[in-house]
Amino acid sequence: MEQKFFSIEHRDKVWILTINRPEVLNALNFELLKNLKKAFLRFKQDPNARILILTGQGEKAFCAGADIQELRGRHIVDEKQGMLLGQETFNTLEEIGKPSIAAINGYALGGGLEMALACTFRLASPNARLGLPEINLGLIPGYGGTQRLTRLVGQAKALQMILTGKPIKAEEAMQFGLIYKMTAQEKLMDECLSLADQLCQYSPLTISLAMESVLRGRDVPLKEGLVLEADLGTIAYNTEDGREGLAAFVEKRAPKFKGR
């Protein structure tokens, strides 16, 4: 698998994917988007991979968005295809069936924030700045930002961020649930790894079912969502891990999940 513009470090069941374009604040070009999609699929298919951590090289930026130099002078058809590529890449990340963690170590703007929004968890350092500044260029977010941000923080806050284009600090982002936790820059990766370790203690099958219930249920009426929850909950109950979890609780011991 080609890893141009990023690196992957394997730590047992955890993958740490670091975007490596610090000279342009880890901006996303189209080749990088294609390779990221391939990496996400590879992670999904690896039976030993449990948690994906995404971050950016250096201490200035997680990802400062799309590479503006690539956007100029493009044919309208090519531009539409580029937006669809970004959406497909981040859809792949969101629907991977395994938890992902964005370690936001600086600027997360435009496509960078859109990538973080597709992650399951977002942790940030105090110097992080999160925003969708496309309005300043006469554009709107095109890699899922108008949709995921609204679903995450609500219409009013999403419109505020999108229409003003002003980035917000990590502390403010915590107040309305945009990020899960803020921690010192030098401790950011350790906190992400600690969360990853916690998630690895649970049944990977159960986690996948829970994520499917949330993601599929958010876009259907409540009654349909409840049916989905009941169906997936029944599946979880009838797995080996479900039976093991109940037995361990009764026997007052730690469960030994096997992903079956």
Instruction: Return the active site residues.
Output: 114, 134
**CA-CA distance, 217 to 145, in Å (whole number)?**
19
∠ CA 166-164-142 to the nearest 5 degrees? Answer: 90
> Half-sphere exposure of residue 7, counting CA atoms within 13 Å on the CB side?
7
Per the CB < 8 A criterion, the answer to whether 105 and 128 are in contact is: yes
- Find all residues with CB under 8 Å of 128, minimum gap 6, and list them: 62, 104, 105, 106, 107, 108, 169, 170, 173, 179, 182
- CB atoms under 10 Å from CB of 185, counted, come to 14
Rounded to the nearest 10 degrees, how much is the dihedral formed by the CA atoms of 64, 66, 68, 69? Answer: 110
Q: Which amino acid is at 85?
A: L
The first and second tokens of residue 59, run together, are: 């201490």
Burial tier of 202 (Cβ tally within 10 Å: 0-12, 13-18, 19+): middle
